[in-house]
């Protein structure tokens, strides 16, 4: 496995739904630190935290993380990752969202291997089976439909695919998207130069821009991650998740 990667964690302090969430504490440790530790453990390459806020920058440096300031005008996490990665030479750029405190190193490694094994794909990510109906109906839990080769057909905040009551299939899994992407450098360069697409703007999911423009996304199936942090109530959910010792 070639590990020519730069891992960038976009850590936006000014979140609309939960300002300052990347520094919110889970079991005494900020969300961004959980993300950074998993990224380092994966061993795929150098890890860089990219933020628009001095508080996040100073905290990152206090734990020994490499961190850079990026423009507050970045419209998305991917734009922030792109800005932070300019001038570097890594073949792959990994975008781990800064609100996924329970990202597993094994998940990142499996997705990277999946992308390497499918040369027709220029982007890699991961998904896990949805077991909780609350996740299925939660628009903050992004769902993905896959083809037979394990490539993304579509991402949505709605439950997909629809399970018709008259279908001859009695069961078929739903999958939730894990919050990261692995881009080939040329793919990232192309992606950020594309205009936001209609479906992206409709669902507010930037990965749809890639699909609408013919870019192929390899998706590895992995064990279910812990909760992401989207709103303040998710901090309590994350703490309860830890108490159950579900995270290893």
For residue 161, is it within any domain?
yes
Which residues in the chain come in under a pLDDT of 70? 1-3, 245-248
CA distance 156 to 142: 6
CA distance 113 to 77: 23
Q: How far is CA 217 from CA 16, 36, 136, 183, 248, in A?
A: 28, 24, 22, 9, 28
- Evaluate whether 36 touches 65 at the Cβ level (below 8 Å): yes
- pLDDT for the residue 16: 84
- pLDDT for the residue 243: 87
Residue in 235, 237, 247, 192 with CA at minimum distance from that of residue 215: 192
For residue 248, is it within any domain?
no
- pLDDT for the residue 153: 98
- Number of folded domains in the chain? 1
- pLDDT for the residue 125: 98
| CATH number of the domain encompassing residue 35 | 3.90.550.10
Structure tokens at 13: 């302090």
- pLDDT for the residue 244: 84
- pLDDT for the residue 144: 98
Structure tokens at 151: 């490539």
Query: Domain range holding 84?
Result: 5-243
- The pLDDT > 70 percentage for the chain reads 97
For residue 156, is it within any domain?
yes
- pLDDT for the residue 247: 54
For residue 85, is it within any domain?
yes
């Amino acid at each position: 496995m070639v590990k020519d990667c730069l891992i960038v964690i976009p850590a936006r302090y000014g979140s609309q739904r939960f300002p300052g969430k990347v520094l919110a504490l889970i079991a005494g440790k900020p969300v961004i630190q959980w993300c950074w530790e998993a990224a380092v453990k994966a061993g795929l390459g150098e890890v860089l935290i990219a933020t628009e806020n001095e508080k996040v920058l100073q905290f990152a440096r206090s734990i020994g993380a490499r961190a850079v300031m990026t423009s507050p005008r970045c419209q998305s996490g991917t734009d922030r990752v792109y800005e932070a990665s300019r001038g570097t030479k890594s073949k792959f750029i990994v975008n781990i969202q800064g609100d996924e405190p329970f990202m597993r190193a094994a998940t990142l490694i499996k997705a990277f291997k999946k992308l390497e094994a499918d040369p027709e794909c220029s982007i890699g990510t991961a998904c896990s089976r949805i077991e909780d109906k609350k996740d299925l109906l939660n628009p903050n839990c992004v769902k993905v439909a896959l083809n037979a080769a394990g490539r993304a057909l579509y991402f949505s905040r709605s439950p997909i695919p629809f399970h018709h009551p008259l279908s001859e299939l009695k069961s078929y899994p739903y999958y939730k998207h894990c919050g990261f992407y692995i881009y080939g450098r040329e793919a990232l360069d192309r992606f950020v130069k594309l205009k936001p697409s209609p479906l992206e703007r409709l669902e507010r999911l930037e990965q749809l821009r890639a699909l609408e423009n013919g870019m192929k996304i390899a998706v590895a199936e992995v064990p279910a991650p812990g909760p992401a942090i989207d709103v303040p109530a998710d901090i309590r959910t994350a703490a309860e998740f830890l108490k159950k010792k579900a995270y290893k």
